[in-house]
Structure 1
């Protein structure tokens, strides 16, 4: 068993104890994210995937377009597009690029997307933007200006004018928040644990 596996097991026990002390998170929440971090967080709290943005990546500008006009893209067709990536890439509604990183095909990704799309709880939506995959300052400003009460942008440096920004330390020289799911060398903590997810997801 690798040390990462040991960290993961300790982590799950730690989170279970944390939930007992803090009262847990409502299982009806829908977490939206432009990459896999949303799914990692849902898994940490043993939450069902009540959002279609799981096991995939959406370029930040497209992600913001999607969550800004979600009703327009509900039940929209997902079509495969040519790509040099090692994974399938599709267009949702002819506009939103979906990188199906952890799916074998567009058909499989589309089926999972539309299945989870039906679970969205519009009363308990939480939005996360990770500053990666070409995320620009303009993307951060657009996200910050969205009329969503529960949103956070995980960023690599301080942005005083971005109200929803939260800096993840350790990325100052990289220029983006990449692989924030990686474990601490010794502790059962991931880099994104610098943000208080329990407090965020318990907001009403």
Structure 2
């Protein structure tokens, strides 16, 4: 039943995905994402995954992205299994949680394959206020030498890269921003941020 529902959603959203693909001019981007948003975006515009940060969560994302070239050179090592059953691996001293992987071997295999595609020349960074929490975090994130966006439950006009999602107003951090929120299949985060225009801006 779950697979059937997912297939229905794919068909329903297909025209919107075609619209996104028709507008995309930059086909040479490498998205480093703290959660699944990056992978969803790659899928929707029909591009090859040129990043290892697909279908996973990096709790210490700010540390990871601040030392990106260092961590991308570490091989993944098997770690723990979370209480939810998610396989984890260690990238140096940073934990990678494979929320959509069968096991650690699957996570290591896909990470190792995709990390080789990263050149470091066309990095785009996506995160949320689940990972960028304090003013100090924001200052560090602001200093990153990459195009970036952070989706937040709180308004903060000080930073141009911070995108407020009012659906989560009053929350400590955003919830599921991948939920559909319009009849034509727009996701919550897409309602307030034009991802394709953002990727094209650095073409």
2:181 to 184, 195, 204: 184
Q: Give unmatched runs, 5+ long, in structure 2.
A: none
- Cα distance change on mapping 1:123 and 1:168 into 2, 3 Å: same
Q: With the length of structure 2 as denominator, give the TM-score of the two structures.
A: 0.86
Alignment deviations for residues 28-47 of structure 1 (CA, whole Å, 9 cap, x no partner): 21111100011111111111
Counting only pairs closer than 5 Å after superposition, residues 29-68 of structure 1 correspond to structure 2 as 29-59=29-59, 62-68=60-66
The reply to whether residue 151 of structure 1 matches residue 151 of structure 2 is no
Count of residue correspondences: 197
Q: Give unmatched runs, 5+ long, in structure 1.
A: none
CA–CA distance in 2 between the matches of 1:31 and 1:68? Answer: 14
Give yes or no for contact 2:55–2:98 (8 Å, CA) kept in 1. yes
CA–CA distance in 1 between the matches of 2:173 and 2:190? Answer: 17
CA–CA distance in 2 between the matches of 1:69 and 1:173? Answer: 32
Per-residue deviation at 1:75? 3.3
The reply to whether residue 8 of structure 1 matches residue 10 of structure 2 is yes
Report the RMSD for the aligned CA atoms in angstroms: 2.2
Q: What secondary structure does 1:170 align onto?
A: helix
Per-residue deviation at 1:117? 0.4
CA–CA distance in 1 between the matches of 2:19 and 2:98? Answer: 34
Give yes or no for contact 1:29–1:121 (8 Å, CA) kept in 2. no
User: More displaced, 193-202 or 138-147?
Assistant: 138-147
CA–CA distance in 2 between the matches of 1:25 and 1:63? Answer: 28
Per-residue deviation at 1:143? 1.1
